[in-house]
Amino acid sequence: MASRPAHRIRFAARLIAMPSARLSFAVLALAGGACVGPNYGRPDEPLPPDWRPPSSIADSVKPFFDSLAAARRADSSALQHMGGTTISRSLSDSIANIRWFDLLQDSVLQTLVTIALAENKDLKIALSTIDEFRSEVTIAKGPFYPQVSVNGLGGANRVPVLSGPHASYNVLNATVDLQWELDFWGRIRRGSEAAQADLLTQEENERAVILTLVSDVATAYLTLRELDENLAISRSTLASRNETYRLALDRYGQGVISELDVRQFESDVAGAAASVADFERQVAQQEHLLSILLGRNPAGIPRGRRLTDVVADIPVPVGLPSTLLDRRPDVRASEAALHAATARIGQAEAARFPKFTITGQYGYQATNLSDLFQTNGQIYQAFLGVSIPIFTGGQLKGAEDVQRARAEQALYVYERTLIGALREVEDALTALRTAHDQLVAQVTQVNALHGAERLASLRYQNGVSSYLEVLDAQRNLFAAQLALTQAELLQLAAAVQLYKALGGGWPTNAPWDSTQTTDSTRRP
């Protein structure tokens, strides 16, 4: 690289003495010079061929969860004839580029996402930022082309004359001026390259804002549906405990039970009423949060499908190719930032070499307006200039070192982003798999506790057992029902996070968990 600049300096020196007929060819040769500095190449980061397999403990308990799922499907055969379906997807089609929230198959949620994409203020800020950087690209490209301007000048002059009085006259001047820096070392082109990479970074940041917004809206909506389910469970439990309390009052009036039993039932009624009030508050606050994400004032939110119906359509992938990380906007943005930092090394390095400029002027000059554009008033000048930095106190070398250090930092940021992306996908995959198993077990527990509560009530009404069995059965069932809605939310939230972690989707040619069906996790 050192011999090539020296050769070009000698060539530029000879250019000054060239005849004007050959000047244009030399100018084109200078403008087409190669760029100094390193050319960007994508870092060769080794990625795992596949994701982390389930642990040995997970493999050992998988038959148990599979048996629970099989039992649920057998118990729910009647529900199959009422609309239950098994997940079947065409493995030859790819859904990597479709709107990933369509997988949740809730038209209300899709409408809310569409509103958020149109109205959310954070997204509007990101779009405005892209317009700013697009203009920066235009600014960075501008110096590569000749800068032409039209100028006019008019005024009065007074010149002293030694042998007589001062000479006074008017001057009018109209010219077209040209200034062009020959991008001999690629300084301007490297700056334009960096600006393009900066624009790409902002475009990927916009995609990140969109992904975050969509996932936040989906998670907030699903949380709202979970709170709806909890509120419905609390109201149903309150009604059931009110009925039990009424029966207890009747039995107390008949002298069958003591006042202590009545007070215990009354306490359970009050506890259920408190849960209803608490979930009503949480539902209202979640609606307000979702309204803000939509870019609107706090208000009510429409509802779509129940969590149970939505969670039944979520597939559990066994494995996914790590190349899907290329879809992530944060990975792409960090790589674009590395590209920009690399280009700025060449920009700083080019500043240490001679700068060649062409300046010219053509126009007319006269002492009055009527003679301004006459042939004898033509003026012109053309210069080829060179500016060679000799001593700058180390500023230019320091500026180059700064850019090299920043490029190294950008490389580490890219590597850190890639590692973090791998972790997020691993976490989401693990969460989705385990949430499915947890949901299967939770459904089984709720079914069992339903039966236990019914038997405890019959035993108590027949005088076989005490009120304590009924209370314990009711409390256990209530807690299990709330845990079931939480398990449904966990699986749906994990699916949303997996889509976000993969940059918006996964392809359907990934293997699916064959045990995942709509009936294996259907609510009783």
The answer to whether residues 295 and 122 touch, using CB atoms and an 8 Å cutoff, is no
Residue 64 pLDDT grade (very low, low, confident, very high; cuts 50, 70, 90): very low
Element (H or E) spanning 275, and its range? helix 259-293
DSSP 108-129: HHHHHHHHHHHH-HHHHHHHHH
Q: What is the Cα–Cα distance from 45 to 486, expressed in whole angstroms?
A: 39
Which range has the worst mean pLDDT, 258-262, 432-436, 508-512?
Answer: 508-512
How much is the pTM? 0.69
> Rounded distance, CA 96 to CA 504, Å?
7
Listed in sequence order, the residues at least 6 apart from 450 whose beta carbon sits closer than 8 Å to its beta carbon are 477, 524
Give the total residue count for the chain. 524
Taken in order of first residue, the domains within the chain and their CATH numbers are 1-31+146-182+356-388 (2.20.200.10), 32-145+183-353+389-501 (1.20.1600.10)
| pLDDT of 374 strictly over 60 | yes
The pLDDT tens digits for 314-354 are: 766 665 666 677 788 899 999 999 999 999 999 999 999 99
- Give the pLDDT confidence of 119-142 residue by residue, as tens digits: 888 888 888 888 888 888 888 888
pLDDT of residue 301 exceeding 50: yes
H, E, C per residue of 166-204 = CEEEEEEEEEEEEEEEECCCCHHHHHHHHHHHHHHHHHH
Strand partners, 153: 173
**Interhelix angle 467-501/395-461, nearest 10 degrees:** 150
Q: What is the pLDDT of residues 229-250, one digit of tens each?
A: 999 999 998 998 888 888 888 8
CA distances from 70 to 75, 113, 161, 228 (A): 9, 35, 113, 29
Phi, psi (deg, nearest 5) at residue 43: -60, 140
- Backbone phi, psi, residue 365, to 5°: -140, 140
Looking at the DSSP assignment, which residues form a beta bridge with residue 169? 157
Instruction: Note the pLDDT tens digit of each residue in 271-290.
Output: 889 999 999 999 999 999 99
Contact predicate 440/65, CB 8 Å: yes
From edge to edge, which strands make up the β-sheet containing 378-387? 147-159, 167-182, 355-366, 378-387
The pLDDT score that the predictor gives to residue 130 is 85
- The mean pLDDT value for 415-440 works out to 87
Q: Is 100 exposed, middle or buried (0-12, 13-18, 19+ CB in 10 A)?
A: buried
CA separation, residue 437 to residues 163, 441, 485 (Å) = 110, 6, 14
Q: Give the 3-state secondary structure percentages of the chain, helix then strand then coil, rounded to 5.
A: 65, 10, 25
Mean pLDDT, the chain, whole residue set? 76
pLDDT digits (tens, 9 = 90+) for 176-228: 999 998 888 888 889 899 999 999 888 888 888 888 888 889 899 999 999 99
